[in-house]
Amino acid sequence: MSGTSRKTWLYKVLKWRYRNISEKNFILILSILIGFIAGLVSLVLKNITHLIQRLVQGDIISWQNTLYFITPVVGLLIVYLFNKYIVKKEIKSAIPLILYALSKKGAVIKSIHGYLPLILAPITVGFGGSVGLLGPAISSGSAFSSSISTLFHVSRKTRVLLIGCASAGAISAVFKSPLAGLVFAVEVFSLDLTFASLLPLLFASVSSIVTSYFFIGDEVLFRFEVLEKFSIQDIPFFIILGIGTAFASIYFTKMYFWILKLFERFEKKIYRLLVAGMTIGVMLYFIPPLYGEGLGFINDLLHGDYMKAIGKTPFQNIESNIWIIIGLLAGITIFKAIAMTATFAAGGYGGIFIPTMVMGSALGNVVSKIINNIGLGFQVSESNFTLLGMAGLISGVLHAPLTSIFLIAEITTSYELFVPLMITTAISFIISKNKVDYTIYTRELAEQGNLLTHDKDQTVLTLLNLKDCIETNFITVNPDYTLKQLLSEAVAKSNRNLFPVVNKRGMLIGIVSLDDIRDIMFDITKYHTVMVEDLMSPVAYKIIEEEDDAKSAMKKFQDSSAWNLPVVRRNKYIGFISKSKLLTSYRRQLIKFA
Residue-wise DSSP of 328-386 = HHHHHHHHHHHHHHHHHHTT---BSHHHHHHHHHHHHHHHHHHHHHSSSS----HHHHH
Domain count, the chain: 3
Same domain, yes or no, for 396 and 516? no
Write the CATH number for 365.
1.10.3080.10
Q: Answer yes or no: is pLDDT of 61 > 50.
A: no
Q: In this predicted model, which residue has the larger pLDDT, 234 or 370?
A: 370
Q: Please, how many CA atoms are within 13 Å of residue 254, restricted to the half-sphere of its CB?
A: 12
pLDDT at 4 over 70: no
- CA-nearest of 87, 119, 72 to 343 is 72
Listed range (77-86, 145-154, 450-459) with the worst mean pLDDT: 450-459
Residues 50 and 187 in one domain: yes
What is the CATH classification number for the domain harbouring 588? 3.10.580.10
Judged against a pLDDT cut of 50, whether residue 63 lies above it is answered with: no
* 460 Cα distance to chain centroid: 19
**Does residue 367 belong to any structural domain of this protein?**
yes
Q: Is the residue at 85 inside a domain? A: yes
Lowest mean pLDDT, pick from 92-96, 225-229, 547-551: 225-229
In the predicted model, what is the mean pLDDT of residues 250-276?
Answer: 88
Do 291 and 412 belong to one domain? yes
Residue 223 within a domain: no
Q: Residue 266's pLDDT band (boundaries 50, 70, 90)?
A: confident
Beta strands in 432-538 (DSSP E): 498-502, 508-513
The confidence score (pLDDT) of residue 255 equals 92
Do residue 366 and residue 340 come from a single domain? yes
478 and 587 belong to one structural domain: yes
Residues 6 or more apart in contact with residue 352 via CB below 8 angstroms: 131, 132, 135, 256, 340, 397, 398, 440, 441
- Tell me if 224 is assigned to some domain: no
Q: Which of 174, 181, 178, 144 is nearest to 159 (CA)?
A: 144
Cα four-point dihedral sign 6, 12, 15, 19: negative
Q: What is the mean pLDDT of residues 51-76?
A: 70
> What amino acid is encoded at 410 in this protein?
E
- Distances 278 to 269, 271, 284, 340, 472 between C-alpha atoms, Å: 14, 11, 10, 13, 56
pLDDT value at residue 6: 60
With the CA atoms of 568, 573, 579 and 580 taken in that order, what torsion angle do they form, in degrees rounded to the nearest 10? -130
Distance between CA atoms of 541 and 520, rounded to whole angstroms?
26
pLDDT at 441: 83
Within this chain, do residues 447 and 509 fall inside the same structural domain, yes or no? no
Highest mean pLDDT, choosing among 163-172, 265-274, 432-441:
163-172
The distance in angstroms from the start CA to the end CA of the chain is 40
290 and 354 co-located in one domain: yes
* pLDDT at residue number 220: 61
For residue 422, the Cα-to-chain-centroid distance in whole angstroms is: 24
Write out the residue range of the structural domain in which residue 138 sits: 3-216
CA quadruple 86, 91, 97, 100: dihedral positive or negative? negative
Taking 90 as the threshold, does the pLDDT of residue 465 lie above it?
A: no
Element (H, E) at 438: none
Q: Clarify whether residues 27 and 174 are in a common domain.
A: yes
Mean pLDDT within 375-402: 89
Same domain, 208 and 116: yes
Residue-level pLDDT at 455: 56
Domain end position, chosen among 431, 454, 477: 454
pLDDT of residue 62: 44
Same domain, 376 and 428: yes
In a domain, 225, yes or no: no
Strand order, beta sheet including 572-578: 543-544, 564-569, 572-578
Give domain status of residue 98, yes or no. yes
Which of 216, 251, 284 terminates a domain? The answer is 216
Does residue 299 fall inside a structural domain?
yes
pLDDT > 90? residue 414: no
What is the CB neighbour count within 10 angstroms for residue 353? 30
Mean pLDDT score, 58-70: 56
Read off φ and ψ for residue 521, nearest 5 degrees: -70, -20
- 32 within some domain: yes
Nearest to 283 by CA among 122, 440, 73: 73
> How far is residue 409's CA from residue 82's CA, in Å, rounded to a whole number?
40
Please give the pLDDT value at position 462. Answer: 67
Model pLDDT for residues 566-585, shown as the tens digit of each residue? 888 888 888 888 888 888 77
Same domain, 101 and 151: yes
Torsion sign across C-alpha atoms 367, 373, 377, 382:
positive
Q: How large is the greatest C-alpha to C-alpha distance in the chain, in angstroms?
A: 104
pLDDT at 412 over 90: no
Predicted pLDDT of residue 591: 64
Burial class (CB in 10 A: 0-12, 13-18, 19+), 238: buried
Cα(545)–Cα(572) distance, integer angstroms: 10
- Would you tell me how many other CB atoms lie within 10 Å of the CB of residue 464? 21
pLDDT category of residue 37 using cuts at 50, 70 and 90 = very high
Q: How far apart are CA 388 and CA 371, in angstroms?
A: 15
Residue 419 CA to residue 403 CA, distance in Å, equals 15
Cα distances (angstroms) measured from residue 251 to each of 282, 286, 290, 382, 440 = 21, 21, 17, 23, 12
- Express each pLDDT in 509-529 by its tens digit: 888 888 878 888 887 888 888
| Residue 258 shares a structural domain with residue 198 | no
Q: What average pLDDT does range 444-461 have in this prediction?
A: 63
The DSSP bridge pattern shows strands 508-513 and 498-502 to be antiparallel
If you write DSSP's letter for every residue of 204-229 in order, what string do you get? Answer: HHHHHHHHHHHHHTT--S------SP
How far is the C-alpha of 204 from the C-alpha of 201, rounded, in Å?
A: 5
Burial letters for 89-107: b for 16+ Cβ neighbours within 10 Å, e otherwise? eebebbbbbbbbbbbbbeb
